[in-house]
Structure 1
Amino acid sequence: MNINLSKTQYSEMYKEASHGTKWWITIPKAFFFGGLICMIGQSIFNMYSYFGLDKDASAMATSVSLVFLAALFTGLGWYDRIAKHAGAGTLVPITGFANSVAAPALEFKTEGMILGLGAKIFIISGPVILYGTLASIVYGIIYYFFLR
């Protein structure tokens, strides 16, 4: 199927299909929800510290708890509902990473454990892991040879 549109026609279609973002609403909401997630994380950290874990163990347990809760909320369908209102506020903290792993796992589980779940679980977060790892290697080499 070949569609020939003039620049004017395309511009009109684009204007009809897109709507402007109300940034004065979305940015404060993202800031609020991102802060709320961080506040919950700090509360979990304080709880683990109160129960006797040292600082490092509390930090690790907090990270594991936040990843677990985000994956659980994704599985229950709650994370998408929160993200609909929170926007980027749910993407920035560690919970956004957990959601980016759990969501494709749920989406592709019907294709089987290997070709669905195994092959596509890191479809969203894979590039982040790959380039983050490569960048850390490059920075490590630069530091080792030039900055120490």
Structure 2
Amino acid sequence: MHISDMEYDKMVKKYSPNSPIFKNCLGAFFIGGAICTLGQGLINLYSYLGASKLDAATLTSVTLVFLSALLTGLGLYDDIAKVAGAGTLVPITGFANAVVSPALEFKAEGYVLGLGAKLFVISGPVIVYGACAAVLYGAIVFVMGLV
């Protein structure tokens, strides 16, 4: 049986559930906002405890990465992501989740070939292209004499 592209599109639209856009936007807004609020609260806490502004920001990043990795390992990050959708893609927490998830999926294959090999499946290209872009940008700035 062969169907045309238009017929296929009609079937997909008919049987695909509608996305609750308003609910998704609210979830992303509130959960993403809560993550950002937590980050600001951590910066304030670390500053209050005597850390410099730069150190407080660094400690906050480390804490958010740790919490995200912990929640991913406990299987809770996925539950939060179901409600928050794109709200969990706040860069630092989403990146930590992207590093830990594939590693956990393949941990049964062992620490080296499973966990170690799959740790950077998703995040590896981001790190490589980010580092390459930084080197390229640095070279351009150096050649133009802006440093």
Q: Structure 2 length as normaliser, TM-score?
A: 0.88
Q: Distance in 2 between matches of 1:66 and 1:49?
A: 16
Whether 2:129 is the aligned partner of 1:131: answer yes
Which residue of structure 2 lines up, in the alignment, with residue 98 of structure 1? Answer: 96
Q: Distance in 2 between matches of 1:130 and 1:36?
A: 30
Which residue of structure 2 lines up, in the alignment, with residue 115 of structure 1? Answer: 113
Residue type at the aligned position of 1:11: D
Residue type at the aligned position of 2:86: A
2:50 corresponds, among 52, 55, 68, to 52
Q: Distance in 1 between matches of 2:126 and 2:21?
A: 26
Residue type at the aligned position of 2:34: L
Cα deviation code 1:108-147 (max 9, x no counterpart): 1001111111111111111211211121122222222236
Q: 1:115 to 1:49 in 2, by over 3 A?
A: same
Residue type at the aligned position of 2:39: G
1:83 corresponds, among 54, 77, 81, to 81
Tell me, yes or no, if the aligned pair for 1:29 and 1:87 is still in contact at 8 Å.
yes
Q: 1:120 to 1:49 in 2, by over 3 A?
A: same
Q: 1:8 to 1:71 in 2, by over 3 A?
A: same
Alignment of 1:3-18 (within 5 A): 4-18=2-16
Name the SS for the 2:51 alignment partner: coil
Tell me, yes or no, if the aligned pair for 1:90 and 1:96 is still in contact at 8 Å.
yes
Instruction: Name structure 1 gaps, 5 residues minimum.
Output: none
* Percent of matched pairs sharing the same residue: 55
Instruction: Name structure 2 gaps, 5 residues minimum.
Output: none
Offset, 1:35: 1.4
Please, which moves more after superposition, 48-57 or 7-16? 7-16
Tell me, yes or no, if the aligned pair for 1:33 and 1:89 is still in contact at 8 Å.
yes
Tell me, yes or no, if the aligned pair for 1:101 and 1:125 is still in contact at 8 Å.
yes
Whether 2:64 is the aligned partner of 1:71: answer no
CA RMSD of aligned residues (A): 1.9
Residue type at the aligned position of 1:101: V
Tell me, yes or no, if the aligned pair for 1:38 and 1:93 is still in contact at 8 Å.
no
Q: 1:127 to 1:19 in 2, by over 3 A?
A: farther
Q: Distance in 2 between matches of 1:70 and 1:100?
A: 10
Q: How many residues align?
A: 146
Q: Distance in 2 between matches of 1:89 and 1:112?
A: 32
Cα deviation code 1:81-122 (max 9, x no counterpart): 001010111112311111111111111100111111111111
